[in-house]
Amino acid sequence: MTALKLAVAGASGRMGRMLIEAIQNADDLTLAGALDTPASPALGIDAGAFLGKAANVVIESDLAKGLASAQLLIDFTRPEGTLKHLEYCAAHGIKMVIGTTGFDQAGKDAIAEAAKKTAILFAPNMSVGVNVTMKLLELAAKSFSHGYDIEIIEAHHRHKVDAPSGTALKMGEVIADALGRKLDDVAVYAREGVTGERDPSSIGFANIRGGDIVGDHTVLFAGIGERIEITHKSSSRVTYAHGSLRAARFLADKQTGLFDMQDVLGLK
Ligand SMILES: NC(=O)C1=CN([C@@H]2O[C@H](COP(=O)(O)OP(=O)(O)OC[C@H]3O[C@@H](n4cnc5c(N)ncnc54)[C@H](OP(=O)(O)O)[C@@H]3O)[C@@H](O)[C@H]2O)C=CC1
Ligand SMILES: O=C(O)C1=N[C@H](C(=O)O)C[C@H](O)C1
């Protein structure tokens, strides 16, 4: 069996390092490239140096060099970085697993367009647990469609730059779809001052940032005389890294198309 050749963008980031370690530990995958920003102090250093285990791959900022031997790029960076990588990968037939969050609609459209030229898996959360939770939410939303107020509460580490989290937004979309509503029409992202009573059709979001919280998501269905809470908590980023590698293996035999973790896990 020939190992699938992967590159990692954001190689010195929190997720980049997790991914490099997971790839180093996988027999069927090879690290074939590592990218970081031109300003990164990690440029020119072996991508496995932080583990004390050489990967024989130097961290590059030049896409042509960093992606020269790669069949697939795993990208957990920022929307502007991912969109730059996307253009290059689509033009060169390099597949992508995209975990970056915080895209606007134009960014999401660009990903869908690029998936006509190469295979892409795009998901705001690669963990198996979160993706199974999405299915539970679909069922719960249908059962609690009347008389229950829906609020999504997420908590993340102090370094997170986007809010609500991509996962919380996806949860909101899944619930809104199940209820026949459009998230854009019913989402309430902030409350302050005299807000008036709660609109029963709304889906509220609350975001907590602090310390080293890896990622917690709770959906609250608040009725009269009872509350139901569906919660997922990540205790390590390793769950996102392992999900990403499953996603990469899933794409191995795909040439084009846009997929998500529900496809990988057979949850559609
Ligand atoms: N889908 C999922 O399962 C998960 C998604 N995420 C998402 O992944 C993303 C990264 O998270 P995390 O690893 O914690 O973030 P970090 O800030 O730790 O790492 C980001 C990495 O991307 C690089 N980067 C930043 N801007 C650019 C750019 N414009 N072009 C290229 N590279 C860039 C950074 O380089 P430098 O340090 O030089 O700026 C750094 O190496 C976030 O959007 C987060 O929400 C996170 C966890 C799970
Ligand atoms: O930035 C993070 O850390 C995470 N981001 C993703 C998101 O925005 O949903 C996934 C996970 O919650 C961790």
Query: pLDDT of 153-210, one tens digit each?
Result: 999 999 999 999 999 999 999 999 999 999 999 999 999 999 999 999 999 999 999 9
Ligand 2 interacting residues, C-beta cut-off 6 A: 101, 124-125, 156, 160, 165-167, 215
Instruction: Please check whether residues 118 and 243 belong to one and the same domain.
Output: yes
Say yes or no: 205 and 158 in one domain.
yes
Which residue's CA is the closest to the ligand 1 atom numbered 38? 40
* ipTM score: 0.99
Distance CA 72, CA 11 (A): 14
Which residue range forms the structural domain that includes residue 132?
A: 128-234
Calpha distance 206→245 (Å, rounded): 31
Same domain, 115 and 139: no
Rounded to whole angstroms, the Cα distance separating 9 from 194 reads 45
Looking at the structure, do residues 135 and 241 belong to the same domain, yes or no? Answer: no
**Under 8 Å CB-to-CB from 244, ≥6 apart: which residues?**
19, 22, 74, 76, 97, 99, 126
Q: Does 98 lie in the same domain as 13?
A: yes
Q: Are residues 149 and 227 in the same domain?
A: yes
CA gap 79, 57 in Å, rounded = 25
Q: What is the pLDDT of residue 1?
A: 73
Just list the catalytic residues: 156, 160
Q: How many domains does the chain have?
A: 2
185 and 247 share one domain: no
- Residue 14 assigned as binding residue: yes
Compute the residue count for the chain. 268
Ordered DSSP codes for 112-151? HHHTTTSEEEE-S---HHHHHHHHHHHHHHHHTSSS-EEE
pTM attached to this predicted model: 0.98
Q: Which ligand is located closest to the Cα atom of residue 41?
A: 1
Q: Are 118 and 93 in contact (CB under 8 A)?
A: yes
Tell me, in angstroms, the distance from the centre of ligand 2 to residue 60's CA.
Answer: 25
Each residue of 219-244: pLDDT tens digit?
999 999 999 999 999 999 999 999 99
